[in-house]
Structure 1
Amino acid sequence: MLAIALDFLPDVAGLRLLNRLPAELSDVEVAEYAFQRRRAARGSDSLPPHLLRLSGFALFGVQDGQFRLCSQASVDEAGLLGAFLDTCAAAPALACWSEVEARLDALRLRALQAGVGRDGAWPRLNACVPLAAELCRAEAPPALAEVARLAGLPLMRAADEEWQWQRVLAGDWLALQGQIELRALVAWLLQRRQQSLSGLIGQADREADEARLREWLQVQPAPHLQSFAMTWGQSTRR
């Protein structure tokens, strides 16, 4: 099973088109215009799904007996959609936390608008295991970063649209991609713990998987993955 993480940002071109905004407005001004209107109407900055564009994705898990991390972050939305759906179509099963589950409508709409589709991808996405919903059936699902921290996993940045927007404006796609990768990694770890909790796998198997994952992370070239491995387990919470 592969765990999914997604990032979306304001669709500036779409906002310009639908609101007939003047060309002199910068991308930052267009986004702020949309945020202000949304705050006035709904009390939050969150834009409706058809006005969000995919800016990055990550999938992490075990496939064919090996750890697999597939991720991209870029301005090329059509390319991102194609690569993401290709990976989903080849995955045996998918899982996600609530932040991703809430964004699947945006993903469907963006794929529709871009005319990007892949055979077999959507049945798997439609059957994506909602991890937070299974754990919190009577309450609003908590943030992935908070649950992970309380479970003894390393401190990670919560999904933060303002931070993501600033990274894109700075052209820092690698930082954006790194944070998406960590969210997918943590979602997979919590999914394995949930399977152990449900009796689907034994605790010894889960602990062996975690030990193998630590070793795998330590030899990866990306500094954020090595840092995750080094700080894993330093929390006193279990």
Structure 2
Amino acid sequence: MIPTLVFDLETIPDAAGLRRLNHHDPETSDAEVIEAALAQRRETHGNDFLPLHLQRVAVVGCVFRDDSGFRVKTLGEAHDPEATLIAGFFKTIERYTPRLVSWNGSGFDLPVLHYRSLIHGVQAPRYWDTGEDDRDFKYNNYISRYHNRHVDLMDLLAKYNGRANAPLDELAKLCGFPGKLGMDGSQVWRAWSEGRADEVRAYCETDVVNTWLVYCRFRFLKGELDATAYEKEIKLVRETLQASDKPHWREYMAAWDDPA
């Protein structure tokens, strides 16, 4: 089995970066710096979504599937420095060379990781290899859009046409999976600033499981899994989550089992 790493980021505005670029008064709090940037963004762009290089990585959620089983977790701890989280993600790639799977990873998650690893100086030679170190990577690497070391499901299913993109939440629910529960990306900064880091981390974990489940369905469509193997993968996810006593997995399973 090819080791597979499904990943998703939750980000918050980079207060330190905003201070450096906008020369804020040292007495101004981080919250005030961020709120000023969000207000300016709303005024100039009609939304408060900051550019990707000003998105600080707060959570890295992962599903890892290999011959040893199925695991879901968020890397590190809520108080870990951003560089530590980024290094942990790339360290997994260095060790396992997994297939990466994401939903809009090419449009958001990976560019954020590129910018933020550049800022912090986080090395990732295996990830960046395009054939210089391993000849196989010339024809199948993590960087090229149409290679399969990274499968951006949203991009692929839309046939690389942004106008055809679908939201993960809706597609997961249409496939019979739980989808998002109680939070979406637009609420992350507010929840994080209110000290609800655990809630954000739990939300990220449910998102990578949604992505994994949709990816399993996609593998069935392309014939990579037959019906028996597909049902076995879904059963493994259900049994793993049912064995957990964490509240977000109890909520997730209740939504999955709801006939509605």
- TM-score, length basis structure 1: 0.90
* Other-structure match for 2:55: 52
Is 1:203 the counterpart of 2:227? The answer is yes
Q: 1:49–1:85: structure 2 CA closer, same or farther, 3 Å change rule? A: same
User: For residues 125-166 of structure 1, what are the alpha-carbon distances to aligned partners after superposition, in whole Å with 9 as ceiling and x for unaligned?
Assistant: 4341010111122434122111111211114245323x2112
Q: Which runs of 4+ in 1 moved over 6 A?
A: none
Is 1:116 the counterpart of 2:122? The answer is yes
2:125 partner SS: coil
Asked if the contact 2:105/2:152 (under 8 Å) is kept, the reply is no
- TM-score, length basis structure 2: 0.83
- 2: CA distance between counterparts of 1:132 and 1:84? 21
* Other-structure match for 1:176: 200
- 2: CA distance between counterparts of 1:235 and 1:155? 14
State the shift of 1:99 in Å: 5.8
Give the paired residue count: 235
- 2: CA distance between counterparts of 1:86 and 1:125? 14
Alignment equivalent of 2:210, drawn from 186, 189, 194: 186
State the shift of 1:3 in Å: 1.1
Unaligned runs of 5+ in 1: none
> In the alignment, residue 58 of structure 2 is paired with which amino acid?
S
> In the alignment, residue 39 of structure 1 is paired with which amino acid?
R
Asked if the contact 2:8/2:207 (under 8 Å) is kept, the reply is yes
State the shift of 1:233 in Å: 3.9
User: For residues 50-94 of structure 1, what are the alpha-carbon distances to aligned partners after superposition, in whole Å with 9 as ceiling and x for unaligned?
Assistant: 111110011104122311223135241011111111123324211
* Percentage of pairs with the same residue: 30
Larger displacement relative to structure 2 (18-27 or 173-182):
18-27
> In the alignment, residue 154 of structure 2 is paired with which amino acid?
A
Q: 1:40–1:140: structure 2 CA closer, same or farther, 3 Å change rule? A: farther
* Other-structure match for 1:133: 155
State the shift of 1:235 in Å: 4.2
Alignment of 1:3-82 (within 5 A): 3-72=6-75, 74-75=78-79, 76-82=81-87
- 2: CA distance between counterparts of 1:61 and 1:77? 21
Asked if the contact 2:177/2:213 (under 8 Å) is kept, the reply is no
